[in-house]
Structure 1
Amino acid sequence: MSEEKLMSKKKPAYPVNKKLDGYLHRYSRKIEIPIFYEDLLRFAGSVVVYDADGEDTLWVRVYYSDFDREEIDLSLKKVYSILHSDGGDRILDYLNVDAVDYCTFGNSKPFRIKIRNILNDNYTYFYVKKTDASRVYGLELEHMLSPYNLNFLVFGDTLIEEHIAGIPGDVFIEDMLPKCTEAEKAQLAKEFVKFNERCMIRLLGDMRSYNYVIVPVHDFDHVVYKIRAIDFDQQCFEGKLKVYRPQFFKENFRMVELVRTKLQKYSVDQYKIEERSIVAKRILSSGDRIKRLLDACVIDDISLEDNITRLKMEIYELAKDINFKKCNTMGEVLALALDFVKRNYQDVNMSKIFDN
C-alpha cells in the first residue's frame, strides 16, 4: 500500500482542553516559560544545515537581529534551566546557545535548540514546538507505557520537549544494519516486533524509520539495540489500523525482512505476548495517573469522525469486543484498547492461579 493511501496528507493541531490542562498542572508538566514558539519565528534569516556527507538535512540554522538575539538567548537558557534543573538563574552564566535550527519538514515545524556548557563543552538539545493535544497525549503515554521516561513542558501554545538521543532509524538501516552481526540482527528483529506491538496497543501512528531512533546499549561483551519513538504527532488520529503498525511502512521494509528471516512464528508470537504483558503491567502500576489522562482524552476532539468510525470497526474486527462499536471519540477507542489489553492480562493470570 502506498504511503499516500496509508496516511492523511495533513493532520490539524488540536488545542489542549480544560481537563487535559488540569492534568498537566497536576503532574508539573504545565510551567510558565519565558519564551513562546511564535517568538522564535522572528528570525532575520537562515542558512541550510548539511550533514557530514553534504546532504541537506531539511533543517535551517536561523539567526536574529542583535536586539532580538540577546533576549532570545537569555530566554532559551532559562527554558533549559526549567527543563533540566531547578529553574534557577545561577547556571545561566555557564550556558551558551550554540544554535537555533528550524525544521521545514513535517507537521510540527519545530525549533531545535543546542545548549552548551562553556566550562566543559558538553552540550544537549531541546525542542520548541506548537502545542498539540495529540502530541501531549502521545508524550504522556510514552512516559507511562514504554520503557522510557520523557521530560516535557507545556505553557499556552508552546511545547518544550527534551531531546531523545539515538541513531535515526533511516540512518541506522542504511549505514549500520549491514554491518551488524547475525546475532545483532536477530536481536533487532525481536525489538522491532515489540516496538510494533507497543505502537499498535497505544495507537501511536506514523512510525516510519525517521520517526524513531535505534539506541545501542553496551551490555558486558555485546551490544543490545533498543528502539524509541521520537515523534508523537500521530497519536490517535488516523482511521486505518495499519498506520499504528510500523511494519506496514515501506521505510521499515528491511526491519520487517529481519523479522521474517531471523525469527520463527512461535518467537514472534512470544514477543508480542511479552510486550502486551509488560504494557498491561505498566497500566496497572500507573494507578490514577493514566486514568486521569484517559478521562481527559475520552471527551477530547483529536480526530475526524470518519477516522473514528473506521478505526473502531477495524479494531472490533480484530478484538471481537462489541464495546468498540459504541465508541464516539478517539479517546474512547484508546481507553477501551488499553482496558482490553489489561483485562486479557488479568484474565490469563487469574486462570493460571485457578489452574494451580
Structure 2
Amino acid sequence: MSEERLLSKKKPAFPVSSALASYLEKYNRQIEIPVFYDDLLRFQGSIAVHDKDGEDTLWVRVYFSDFDREEIDLSLKQVYSILHSDGSDRILEFLNIDAVDYCTFGNSKPFRVKVRNILNDNYTYLYIKKTDASRIYGLELEHMLSPYNLNFLVYKDTLIEEHIAGIPGDVFIKDYLPDCSAREQAQLAKEFVKFNERCMIRLLGDMRAYNYVIVPTHDFDHVEYKIRAIDFDQQCFEGKLKVYRPQFFKENFRMVELVSERLKQESVDQYQIEERSIIAKRFKSTADRVRELIEIAEKDSISLDKNILRLREEVYEITHDMTFRKCETMGEILKAVLDFVIRNYEDMNPKG
C-alpha cells in the first residue's frame, strides 16, 4: 500500500484545551517564553541547506534584519536557558545562535535553532513549532511510556522541543546498514520489532524512516542500537491501524527485510511480548500521571469522526474486545488499547 493511500492528505492542528493547558502547567510544561513561532516568520531572506553530498535537505537557512536579529538572538538564548538550565541570564554571554533553519516540508513547519557554547564549541539544537494538541499528547506519552525522557515547553501557540540526537533512519538505512555485521543487523531487527510494537500500542503514527533516528551506543567491544521517534504529529489521528505500524511504510522495507532475514518467528513473538510487558510496567509506575493525561484526551477532539469509527473497528477485529466498539474519541481508543495490554500482562503475571 502506498503512503499516499495510507496517510490522510493533510492533518489539521488541534488547539490545546483548557484541561490540557492545566495539565501542562501542573507538570511544568507550560511556562512563559520570550519568543513566539510567529516572531521567527519575520525573516527577510533564506538560502537552501544542503547535506555533505550536496543534496537538498528541504531546510532553508533564514536571515533577519539587523534590528530583528539582535532581539531574536537574545530571545532564543533565553529559551535555551529555560529549556536546559535554570532560566537565568548567567549563561547567555557564553551562548551564540549559529543558525536558524526553517522547514517547509510536513505539517509542523518547524524552525531549527543551532545553539553553540562559545567556550568549548559544543552545540545543540532546539525546535520551535506551532502548538498542536495531538503533538503534545505524543510528546508526553513518549516521555512516560517509552524508554526515553523528553524535554519540551508550551506557551500559548508556541511549542519548544529539545533535539533528539541520532542518525536519521533513512540515512542510516542507506549509508550505515550495509556495513553492519550480522550480529548488529540482528540487533537492529530486534529493536525494529520492539519499536513497531511500541508505536502501535500507543497509537503513534507515520513512523517513516525520516521520522525516527537510530542511536548507536558503544558497549565494551560492540555497538548497541536503539530506535527513537522524533516526530509526534500523528499521535492518535489516523483511522487506519497500519499507519501506527512502521512495518507498513515502504521507507522501512529494508528494516522489515532484516526482521525476516535475522529473526525467527518465535523471537519476533518474544520481543513483542517483552515490549508489551515493558509498557505495562511503565504505565503502572507512572499510572497517576498517565491516567490523568488520558482522561483529558478522552474528552478532547484530536481526530475526525470517520477516523475514530474506522480505527475502533479495526482494533476490534484484532482484539474482539467490545470495549473498542463503544469508544467515541481517540482518547477512549488509546485508553482501551492500554487497558487491554495491561490486562494481558496481569493475566500472565498475577503476582507482578
TM-score range, shorter chain: over 0.9
Report the AA paired with residue 37 of structure 1. Y
Report the AA paired with residue 109 of structure 1. K
Q: Structure 1: how far apart are the matches of 2:268 and 2:120? A: 46
Partner residue of 2:217?
A: 217
Q: Structure 2: how far apart are the matches of 1:86 and 1:287? A: 28
How far has the Cα of 1:347 moved from its partner?
1.5
How far has the Cα of 1:204 moved from its partner?
0.2
How far has the Cα of 1:104 moved from its partner?
1.2
Q: Structure 2: how far apart are the matches of 1:38 and 1:336? A: 38
Q: Structure 2: how far apart are the matches of 1:210 and 1:262? A: 23
Report the AA paired with residue 96 of structure 1. N
Q: Structure 1: how far apart are the matches of 2:286 and 2:192? A: 25
Q: Structure 1: how far apart are the matches of 2:318 and 2:33? A: 44
2:108 is equivalent to residue 83 of structure 1: no
Partner residue of 2:330?
A: 330
Q: Deviations over 1:114-139 (max 9, x none)?
A: 00011111100000000000000000
Partner residue of 1:148?
A: 148
Partner residue of 1:277?
A: 277
Q: Which stretches of structure 1, 4 residues or longer, exceed 2 Å deviation after superposition?
A: none
Q: Structure 2: how far apart are the matches of 1:331 and 1:159? A: 21
How far has the Cα of 1:197 moved from its partner?
0.2
Partner residue of 1:266?
A: 266
Report the AA paired with residue 178 of structure 1. P
Partner residue of 2:119?
A: 119
Report the AA paired with residue 93 of structure 2. D
Q: Structure 1: how far apart are the matches of 2:27 and 2:343? A: 27
Q: Structure 2: how far apart are the matches of 1:24 and 1:203? A: 21
Partner residue of 2:296?
A: 296
Partner residue of 2:253?
A: 253
Q: Structure 1: how far apart are the matches of 2:262 and 2:159? A: 40
**SS of the residue aligned with 1:43?**
coil
Partner residue of 1:51?
A: 51
Q: Structure 2: how far apart are the matches of 1:137 and 1:273? A: 25
Report the AA paired with residue 341 of structure 1. V
Q: Deviations over 1:78-97 (max 9, x none)?
A: 00000000000010011000
Partner residue of 1:315?
A: 315
Any gaps of 5 or more consecutive residues in structure 1?
Answer: none
Report the AA paired with residue 254 of structure 1. R
Partner residue of 1:229?
A: 229
Partner residue of 2:186?
A: 186
Report matched runs for 1:23-172 at 5 Å. 23-172=23-172
How far has the Cα of 1:287 moved from its partner?
2.4
Q: Structure 2: how far apart are the matches of 1:6 and 1:118? A: 46
How far has the Cα of 1:67 moved from its partner?
0.4
Q: Deviations over 1:193-237 (max 9, x none)?
A: 000000000000000000000000111110000000000000000
Instruction: Provide the aligned C-alpha RMSD in A.
Output: 0.7
Partner residue of 1:342?
A: 342
Partner residue of 2:8?
A: 8
**SS of the residue aligned with 1:9?**
coil
Partner residue of 2:201?
A: 201
Q: Structure 2: how far apart are the matches of 1:63 and 1:32? A: 25
Partner residue of 1:238?
A: 238
Any gaps of 5 or more consecutive residues in structure 2?
Answer: none
Q: Structure 2: how far apart are the matches of 1:184 and 1:275? A: 20
Partner residue of 1:305?
A: 305
Q: Structure 2: how far apart are the matches of 1:190 and 1:117? A: 37
Paired residue total: 352
Question: TM-score scaled by structure 2?
Answer: 0.99
Q: Deviations over 1:247-269 (max 9, x none)?
A: 00000000000000100000000
Q: Structure 1: how far apart are the matches of 2:240 and 2:44? A: 41
Report the AA paired with residue 125 of structure 2. Y
